[in-house]
Structure 1
């Protein structure tokens, strides 16, 4: 990471994540930093219905982070069928349908940066995370094609796509905490990480407040928000104060062939 901070807002950013709370856990600090600088920020959530109990929690979290209103695609969570009654599970929906919906949001927001899950599906390998990663990678490239889903708006080519991830050296105490509740930990080699962002200070306060906004998850013992909520503040902050990303690709030509860092 370059330590310099140029004047003016950071680049506009769109996060595309599977579940309400993923945005706060994986990129809450980056979202808060970009919003605080005056950059446009937004989040697409691929599962859970807009009339579910998690929708208002998501709205509260996004308000804390400065990331606008919820953009829920409304597919069902792979492990919670009643999360979207009458809708297919995200992992069962045709990939082209999911991609088309994400493309519509990319064209509406017109971000320079898109952030999503990594190919593993983020630490625990949740199938919704994997599917969201796959659909977002396709949408990132297809949003700029004029003949792809012209009904969703004018073409827009974001500059760079990042995957939120965890390097082997950055998992730390998370491994024992997740394995204790029967979850696996899927981290990547350190050299895969191309952006490491320190989100301490005000950004960390907003990130933690956003995580706690997901009250139904924070009340559960096996969920990551619930695990974090039961830790001493010092331990919790050491886990969530750094966010890691892998640059997956570039679209429109930008400075140096695309934005190289998230904390620019």
Structure 2
């Protein structure tokens, strides 16, 4: 069965590698068209150049930037509005144009919490992506953004409650951690075969390594701790297109995943 094309949409440079680097690498290696849209930072910024390096490591196409400013770093896009402050229709239209141009079968983004951290840019990326994935298939919405295209499914990168204790053992306790009930997780992907590539992509975000953000923490971890932190990816699948008659779609094939029940340890 052919591996479906995949467009990932994340808030900042490094989110793609941390949240979905394993799936991106597996998808690209399987020959699927694979690309990443990043909501913040200007295309001519150092972090955009680091993003390009990370995507090359993952085997993904060149960066696609919406061009908004990071909520906490206005200089990230001096000529752009803060992402969370920009008119919603403008952000959705920009993303719809990417979806209609790339024509992915599957879209991947942050969950409704914005991942473990609950960062405002992550949460807003989720909102914009959900709206854009639906609007892209409706020809009377944003007709200037290209011919309609409806992705079949949306995958939300998430963390189940059962995984949090293992993660906090590696990264240390945090005041607030956002996770979901295990039974909401539909797809669990063992990305350990791609861990070296995923880790290299995370570390390609040199600015974040240098300032001691999550990539910097990962740079200091021993191999076993890196595996515990990065070796599994969890997703919540949502249908976007009407279900076709016939056998149900195999979501494991859709994300080239080896699925395990949420909460079970990697063997």
TM-score computed with the length of structure 1 as normaliser:
0.91
Alpha-carbon separation, structure 1, partners of 2:19 and 2:247: 26
* RMSD value, Cα: 1.7
Alpha-carbon separation, structure 1, partners of 2:28 and 2:247: 24
May I ask how many residue pairs the two structures share in their alignment? 254
Q: Spell out, residue by residue over 1:49-92, the C-alpha distance to the aligned partner (whole angstroms, 9 max, x if none).
A: 01111011000111111110100111000001110002110000
**Is the counterpart of residue 260 in structure 1 residue 260 in structure 2?**
no
Contact 2:170 2:229 in 1 (8 A): no
1:186-197 paired onto structure 2 within 5 Å = 186-197=178-189
Give the superposition deviation at 1:238.
Answer: 1.3
Q: Spell out, residue by residue over 1:114-154, the C-alpha distance to the aligned partner (whole angstroms, 9 max, x if none).
A: 00000001111100000000000001111001111111111
Show the counterpart of 1:184: 176
Show the counterpart of 1:3: none
Alpha-carbon separation, structure 2, partners of 1:172 and 1:26: 18
TM-score computed with the length of structure 2 as normaliser:
0.90
**Is the counterpart of residue 77 in structure 1 residue 70 in structure 2?**
yes
**Is the counterpart of residue 138 in structure 1 residue 145 in structure 2?**
no
Show the counterpart of 1:224: 214
**Is the counterpart of residue 215 in structure 1 residue 206 in structure 2?**
yes
Give the superposition deviation at 1:173.
Answer: 3.6
Give the superposition deviation at 1:178.
Answer: 5.1
Paired residue secondary structure (1:116)? strand
- Label 1:90 to 1:139 Cα distance change in 2 as closer, same or farther (>3 A): same
**Is the counterpart of residue 170 in structure 1 residue 163 in structure 2?**
yes
Give the superposition deviation at 1:226.
Answer: 1.2
Structure 1 unaligned blocks of 5 or more: 1-5
Give the superposition deviation at 1:177.
Answer: 5.3
Which runs of structure 1 show a deviation greater than 3 angstroms over 4 or more consecutive aligned residues?
A: 176-180, 252-259
- Label 1:167 to 1:78 Cα distance change in 2 as closer, same or farther (>3 A): same
Show the counterpart of 1:128: 121
Give the superposition deviation at 1:259.
Answer: 5.8
Contact 1:178 1:185 in 2 (8 A): no
Show the counterpart of 1:55: 48
Alpha-carbon separation, structure 1, partners of 2:192 and 2:22: 8
Paired residue secondary structure (1:191)? helix
Paired residue secondary structure (2:192)? coil
Structure 2 unaligned blocks of 5 or more: 258-267
Alpha-carbon separation, structure 2, partners of 1:227 and 1:172: 17
Show the counterpart of 1:90: 83
